[in-house]
């Protein structure tokens, strides 16, 4: 039997996650007190019905019962019941935004602000996160992308690294991106802006990409950038980093940076990283 425990930050998307698993024929239960996990798993195992895939949500809503989670996980292991833990999280700012939009109180903010509840919950869940098999940060994810990620793990068996990677192109003339962890300047590459037939196109189009990548320096740079990220990203994951924003900049953010950002995203995706690509300064015609 496949037994999945969904937990994580309130407002991070656990309800959506269990709906996705329900759609692919998991027997699902929301808000199960952690102390009941072993009994529930045994009940499913002994059921006369064909129950071979089970998913439950166990989170901070269990109140004082949530402290029983580790004991329950140990008991599952001792009973020979294999399980996996899916942990969903999101940034503080995004969680605050979601709660304000829903106009609902955070379960731990009864005597304080939303952010205080979020910070308290992070502390309570820190050890749970460390014991999780899969971690998905939904800060910048739309529902469709979260669904793809969950289906990739539990339907297709494709496991992404526990690191959300945002690759962003930008133009230096419009300023540096404030949230970038790593910034790379590609203004040394030949500029399609000065080619009349390319000037009003972008790096999202094949003709511009073919021009930019037609130079040896472009390919050497991209290969060296990937080599460096192959070294850095496992270290970021080991350190516990869950979000990495990579900025690729050129003069106007239309051609070179967009091309390199797209190429880099394709390569990182092929390495099973969870990648989102954005082009901050591309002019939409």
193-231 per-position pLDDT tens digit: 999 999 999 999 999 999 999 999 999 999 999 999 999
Flag whether pLDDT at 285 surpasses 80.
Answer: no
In this structure, what token pair is assigned to residue 79? 């009973």
- Mark whether 19 and 81 lie in a shared domain: yes
Selected residue with higher pLDDT from 135 and 216: 216
- Mark whether 177 and 63 lie in a shared domain: no
What mean pLDDT is predicted for residues 163-189?
A: 93
What mean pLDDT is predicted for residues 220-247?
A: 92
CB of 118 closer than 8 Å to CB of 9 = yes
- Mark whether 183 and 45 lie in a shared domain: no
Q: CB within 8 A of 193, min separation 6: which ones?
A: 199, 251, 252, 254, 255
Residue 284 lies in a domain: no
Selected residue with higher pLDDT from 225 and 128: 225
Residue 58 lies in a domain: yes
- Mark whether 169 and 271 lie in a shared domain: yes
CA distance 28 to 134: 18
Selected residue with higher pLDDT from 266 and 141: 266
Residue 89 lies in a domain: yes
- Mark whether 144 and 27 lie in a shared domain: yes
- Mark whether 257 and 177 lie in a shared domain: yes
Flag whether pLDDT at 161 surpasses 80.
Answer: no
Q: H or E segment at 57?
A: strand 53-57
In this structure, what token pair is assigned to residue 39? 């009994």
Residue 169 lies in a domain: yes
Q: Is 103 left (phi over 0), alpha (psi -120 to 50) or beta?
A: left
Domain total in the chain: 2
- Nearest Cα to 233, choosing from 222, 221, 245? 245
- Mark whether 180 and 49 lie in a shared domain: no
Q: CB within 8 A of 171, min separation 6: which ones?
A: 249, 250, 251, 252, 253, 254, 257, 280, 281
Collapsing DSSP to helix, strand or coil, 17 comes out as helix
Report which DSSP code applies to 160.
Answer: P
Question: What is the distance in angstroms between the CA of the first residue and the CA of the last residue of the chain?
Answer: 52
Q: Please, what is the angle between helix 143-154 and helix 14-23, to 10°?
A: 50
User: What is the percentage of the chain residues whose pLDDT exceeds 70?
Assistant: 94
Residue 209 lies in a domain: yes
- Nearest Cα to 3, choosing from 58, 69, 84? 84
- Mark whether 41 and 127 lie in a shared domain: yes
Last residue of a domain, one of 99, 128, 154: 154
pLDDT value of residue 65: 59
CA distance 161 to 180: 20
Report which DSSP code applies to 192.
Answer: G
The domain in which residue 111 lies consists of 2-154
CB of 37 closer than 8 Å to CB of 5 = yes
- Nearest Cα to 169, choosing from 269, 266, 275, 277? 277
Last residue of a domain, one of 154, 185, 205: 154
Whose tokens are 């300023």? That residue is 175
Flag whether pLDDT at 140 surpasses 80.
Answer: no
Whose tokens are 């970021």? That residue is 236
Selected residue with higher pLDDT from 137 and 220: 220
Flag whether pLDDT at 107 surpasses 70.
Answer: yes
Last residue of a domain, one of 123, 154, 185: 154
Our measurement of the distance from residue 157's CA atom to the centroid of its chain's CA atoms, rounded to an integer in Å, reads 17
- Mark whether 93 and 148 lie in a shared domain: yes
Mean pLDDT of the chain: 89
pLDDT value of residue 281: 94
Flag whether pLDDT at 280 surpasses 70.
Answer: yes
- Mark whether 187 and 93 lie in a shared domain: no
Residue 44 lies in a domain: yes
31-68 per-position pLDDT tens digit: 888 889 999 998 888 875 678 899 999 988 766 657 78
* Least confident span in 93-97, 181-185, 203-207: 93-97
Residue 159 lies in a domain: no
Residue 285 lies in a domain: no
The CATH number covering residue 70 comes to 3.40.50.300
- Mark whether 179 and 90 lie in a shared domain: no
Has this prediction a pTM greater than 0.85? no
- Mark whether 6 and 140 lie in a shared domain: yes
Whose tokens are 């040394």? That residue is 188
Distance set, CA 192 to CA 188, 225, 247, 264, 277 (Å):
12, 21, 20, 19, 21
The strand ranges marked E within 188-263 are 243-250
């Amino acid at each position: 039997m496949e037994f999945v425990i969904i937990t994580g930050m309130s407002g991070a998307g656990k309800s959506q996650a269990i709906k996705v698993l329900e759609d692919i024929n998991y027997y699902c239960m929301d808000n199960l007190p952690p102390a009941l996990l072993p009994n529930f798993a045994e009940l499913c195992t002994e059921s006369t019905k064909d129950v071979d895939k089970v998913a439950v949500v166990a989170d901070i809503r269990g109140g004082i019962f949530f402290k029983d989670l580790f004991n329950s996980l140990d008991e599952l292991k001792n009973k020979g019941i294999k399980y996996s833990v899916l942990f969903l999280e999101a940034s503080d700012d995004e969680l605050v935004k979601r709660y304000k939009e829903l106009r609902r109180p955070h379960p731990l903010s009864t005597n304080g602000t939303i952010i205080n509840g979020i910070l308290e919950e992070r502390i309570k869940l820190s050890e749970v996160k460390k014991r999780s098999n899969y971690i998905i940060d939904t800060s910048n994810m739309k529902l469709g992308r979260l669904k793809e990620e969950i289906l990739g793990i539990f339907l297709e068996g494709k496991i992404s690294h526990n690191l959300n990677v945002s690759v962003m192109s930008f133009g230096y003339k419009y300023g540096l991106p404030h949230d970038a962890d790593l910034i790379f300047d590609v203004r040394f590459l030949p500029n399609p802006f000065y080619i009349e037939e390319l000037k009003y196109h972008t790096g999202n189009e094949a003709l511009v990409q073919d021009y930019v990548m037609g130079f040896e320096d472009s390919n050497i740079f991209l290969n060296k950038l990937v080599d460096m990220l192959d070294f850095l990203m496992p270290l970021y994951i080991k350190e516990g980093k869950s979000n990495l924003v990579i900025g690729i900049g050129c003069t106007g953010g239309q051609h070179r940076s967009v091309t390199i950002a797209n190429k880099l995203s394709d390569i990182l995706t092929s390495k099973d990283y969870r990648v989102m690509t954005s082009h901050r300064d591309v002019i939409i015609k």
